[in-house]
């Protein structure tokens, strides 16, 4: 039986972003959440990196408010490295340091409500296209779902599952999946592929919570491919943001931690299970590597396109490749100098005592390499 005098506080753990707009949107979501929870539970939020307040600051506020038990949830769609390693490390360290009980919940995941929120955003784009460009049946329309992309096949495969649920649920003619970074296919090769399928309308839906450099990149590549294929209507769907079903899922991720048996996490996790192609990572040490960029501001070096010699109107991610080339020759640590923050492969974290395995498909021609201009 739960102790009656326990005072519960809720901590929403965001990734953080160099984009001020993304940080602002996360804050709005965190501020809307208390309305869905018991009024006596204080709610705070904080970021892993690139933005303030950092997670520890939120935890301090909850402790100062007299909380004896903190329920933390990751403000992320899927469980990849940040959710599995970095945030739990921060929370565990804090709990041990202050002798306070901190529990950690599941990521948003493919909850029925998340799929409903995604469907609503896709439907908005379809309705807008029908109203402004003319009616077109869904079975004559292609859907493209763009996920974040991670060096974690479990997280990547969830985007495919979401895409199939939208495709089948709504009845699109065809559906393809692409990613904004790290893995393959990236946005441009994905959309180029779709342009060959014969569909006259393509809905491009970023399955992302918030805006930021990667949303700019997805919409930017969509514009680039659309310009090359003027006979095809490329329609940009909005990202999830603070859709009511997203908020309801967050509230559920908080409440379910107080149940008799908190739900299991990470079934196909590469750290726990032999996942095809990633066998070397089973049992790898899981730890945080973010302490050196904690709390950096949104204006960190390389965070704005205006200063970039490689891109014109949006961050293509090419800077990352140039830096990786440079790094392989000079072994310089460049984390923190890239607009896109696709940092799961191709560089060395040796100076703070651990190493990421190289992503096995880093050189895939439809992956990050595709951002290189064919000069």
pLDDT per position as a tens digit, 195-236 = 999 999 999 999 999 999 999 999 999 999 999 999 999 999
Phi and psi for 92 in degrees, rounded to 5?
-65, -45
Task: Show Cβ contacts of residue 341 under 8 Å, excluding neighbours closer than 6 positions.
Answer: 18, 50, 213
- Rounded to whole angstroms, how far apart are CA atoms 58 and 13? 9
Q: Does the pTM exceed 0.95?
A: no
Which residue stretches of 195-289 are H helix? Answer: 213-228, 244-255
- Rounded to whole angstroms, how far apart are CA atoms 311 and 254? 41
Domains of the chain: 8-109+243-258 (3.40.50.1400), 112-236 (3.40.50.1400)
- Rounded to whole angstroms, how far apart are CA atoms 202 and 237? 10
Q: Which two tokens stand for residue 15?
A: 């990734």
3-state secondary structure of 70: strand
Average pLDDT for residues 328-354, to the nearest whole number? 41
Q: What is the pLDDT of residue 50?
A: 84
CA distances from 201 to 32, 147, 261 (A): 35, 20, 46
Share above pLDDT 70 across residues of the chain, in percent, rounded to a whole number? 75
The structure tokens 């303030």 sit at 52
Average pLDDT for residues 275-297, to the nearest whole number? 54
The better pLDDT of the pair 146, 362 is held by 146
- Whether the link from the prior residue into 185 is cis, omega within 30° of 0, is yes
Q: What is the pLDDT of residue 336?
A: 39
- pLDDT digits over 11-41, tens only? 999 988 888 999 999 999 999 999 999 999 9
Average pLDDT for residues 46-75, to the nearest whole number? 94
- Rounded to whole angstroms, how far apart are CA atoms 80 and 286? 11
Largest Cα separation within the chain, whole Å, is 67
237 neighbors 204 (Cβ within 8 angstroms): yes
- Number of Cβ atoms within 10 Å of the Cβ of 365: 10
CA angle 267, 270, 276 (to 5 degrees): 105
* Mean pLDDT, all residues of the chain: 82
pLDDT at 132 over 80: yes
Average pLDDT for residues 317-326, to the nearest whole number? 73
- Rounded to whole angstroms, how far apart are CA atoms 227 and 221? 10
CA angle 77, 243, 121 (to 5 degrees): 85
- Rounded to whole angstroms, how far apart are CA atoms 265 and 28? 27
User: Could you tell me the end-to-end alpha-carbon distance of the chain, in angstroms, rounded to an integer?
Assistant: 67
Average pLDDT for residues 302-313, to the nearest whole number? 69
């Amino acid at each position: 039986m739960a102790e009656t005098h326990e005072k519960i506080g809720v901590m929403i753990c965001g990734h953080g972003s160099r984009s001020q707009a993304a940080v602002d949107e996360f804050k709005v979501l965190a501020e809307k959440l208390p309305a869905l929870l018991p009024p006596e539970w204080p709610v705070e939020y904080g970021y892993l990196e690139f933005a303030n307040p950092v997670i520890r600051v939120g935890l301090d506020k909850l402790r100062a408010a007299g909380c004896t038990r903190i329920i933390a949830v990751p403000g992320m769609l899927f469980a990849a490295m940040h959710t599995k390693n970095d945030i739990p490390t921060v929370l565990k360290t804090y709990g041990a340091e202050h002798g306070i009980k901190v529990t950690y919940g599941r990521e948003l995941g493919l909850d029925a409500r998340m799929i409903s929120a995604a469907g609503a955003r896709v439907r908005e784009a379809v309705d807008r296209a029908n109203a402004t460009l003319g009616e077109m049946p869904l079975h004559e329309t292609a859907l493209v779902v763009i996920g974040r992309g991670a060096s974690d096949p479990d997280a990547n495969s969830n985007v495919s599952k979401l895409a199939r649920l939208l495709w089948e649920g709504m009845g699109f003619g065809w559906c393809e999946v692409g990613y904004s970074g790290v893995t393959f296919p990236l946005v441009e090769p994905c959309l180029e592929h779709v342009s060959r399928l014969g569909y006259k309308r393509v809905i491009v839906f970023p399955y992302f919570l918030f805006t930021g450099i990667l949303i700019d990149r997805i919409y930017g590549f969509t514009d680039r491919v659309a310009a090359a294929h003027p006979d095809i209507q490329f329609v940009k769907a909005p990202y999830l943001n603070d859709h009511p079903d997203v908020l309801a899922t967050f509230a559920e991720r908080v409440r379910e931690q107080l149940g008799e048996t908190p739900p299991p996490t990470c079934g196909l996790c590469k750290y726990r299970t032999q996942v095809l192609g990633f066998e070397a990572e089973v049992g790898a040490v899981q730890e945080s590597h973010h302490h050196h960029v904690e709390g950096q501001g949104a204006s960190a070096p390389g965070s704005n396109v205006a200063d970039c010699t490689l891109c014109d109107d949006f961050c293509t991610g090419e800077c990352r490749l140039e830096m990786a080339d440079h790094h392989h020759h000079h072994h310089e640590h460049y984390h923190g100098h890239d607009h896109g923050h696709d940092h799961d492969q191709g560089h060395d974290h040796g100076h703070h005592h651990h190493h990421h395995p190289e992503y096995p498909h880093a050189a895939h021609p439809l992956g990050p390499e595709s951002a290189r201009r064919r000069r």
